[in-house]
Structure 1
Amino acid sequence: MKHTLIEGDLLVRDASFAIVVSRWNELITRRLLEGALETFRRHGGAEDNITVLWVPGSFELPLVADRLAKSGKYQAVCCLGAVIQGSTMHHDYINHQVAAGIMRSSQESGVPVLFGVLTCETMEQAMDRAGGKVGNKGGEAALAAIEMVNLLQSIDQNQA
């Protein structure tokens, strides 16, 4: 049985990307941003094709990401944030709504909107995921953005 395989490669080419970053837990989110920027650079991205926007907290990520995704200026939008569990259930409400908002924006706009939001129990876990022993989830979101942009372009080319 023969099948068709369509994959997105990991070369940026001339795509434009937006990165929306939560200022809340900036110690963590700045590291996520650095990881994303480094990943875009390593994969051929030009600095002038990347726009970085800061929002107050993770709850504000979906609104700004949706506006950017629907602007037609960006091929993908990366959302970077860190919601760390406290002594209340606040984090559950934030995490669920942020995830749903980011997913909805991606589906409605047709533009990849990537979830690079850490949802950790402790600051130590967040540090591990922001360039520590578990890698950098900001870089992983950027890599997923690159792959998705190229995959969608490949799908469009194969349907033409």
Structure 2
Amino acid sequence: MAVKGLGKIDQTYDGKHIKVGILHARWNSKIINALVDGAIKKLKELNVSEENIIVESIPGAYELPFGTKKMFEKYNVDVVIPIGCLIKGSTMHFEYICDAVSTQIMQLQFQLNKPIIFGVLTCLTEEQALERAGLLPGMHNHGEDWGACAVEMVLKWK
């Protein structure tokens, strides 16, 4: 039996009744700003009202898991999109932060039983980050994907 529509969105989602938290790190602000803007743009396209989009900032990516948990508690949101950008340098810092943040965000979803959209770029070069933020010609802003994913995950599993 063939699966129809594999890889395609399975229905139209209307986010007019959901509340979304966006939590972003301040490091790599040019990239982060573009990703946050992309997420907000897509959320609005999917009918999430501006007053139901709460945006907070934190120092860095390492603080994203704790900040995400606190966004759920403080704002009673349906979903959080933690946004960060890690770019590999010459030390092991990149590997440790990527692993810790990824693991904690995944575990937090199951602890809270709420969707958390993994909006953390883990790039080997600044150029890769700029591409994924849609800041280079012809490239796509991944923040838009995260906004669409947030709406779908809330509505699909309510």
TM-align CA RMSD: 1.6
Aligned equivalent of 1:124, options 115, 123, 127 = 127
After TM superposition, give the deviation of residue 54 of structure 1 in Å: 0.2
Q: Which runs of 5+ in 1 are unaligned?
A: 2-6, 154-160
Letter in 1 for 2:32: T
Instruction: Please give the alpha-carbon distance, in whole angstroms, between the structure 1 residues aligned to 2:19 and 2:116.
Output: 13
Letter in 2 for 1:117: V
Provide the TM-score with structure 1 as the length reference. 0.87
Instruction: Please give the alpha-carbon distance, in whole angstroms, between the structure 1 residues aligned to 2:75 and 2:86.
Output: 29
Provide the TM-score with structure 2 as the length reference. 0.88
Residues 89, 127 of structure 1: alpha-carbon distance in 2 compared, 3 angstrom cutoff: same
2:87 matched to which residue of 1? 84
Aligned equivalent of 2:68, options 56, 62, 65 = 65
Instruction: Please give the alpha-carbon distance, in whole angstroms, between the structure 1 residues aligned to 2:76 and 2:17.
Output: 12
- Kindly indicate whether the alpha-carbon contact (under 8 Å) linking 1:8 and 1:152 is maintained by their aligned counterparts in 2: no
Instruction: Please give the alpha-carbon distance, in whole angstroms, between the structure 2 residues aligned to 1:12 and 1:83.
Output: 30
Residues 118, 74 of structure 1: alpha-carbon distance in 2 compared, 3 angstrom cutoff: same
Q: Which runs of 5+ in 2 are unaligned?
A: 2-9
The secondary structure found in structure 2 opposite 1:135 is coil
After TM superposition, give the deviation of residue 134 of structure 1 in Å: 3.9
After TM superposition, give the deviation of residue 69 of structure 1 in Å: 2.7
Letter in 2 for 1:152: W
The question of 1:149 aligning with 2:124 is answered no
Instruction: Please give the alpha-carbon distance, in whole angstroms, between the structure 2 residues aligned to 1:9 and 1:151.
Output: 11
Q: Which sits farther off after the overlay, 110-119 or 63-72?
A: 63-72
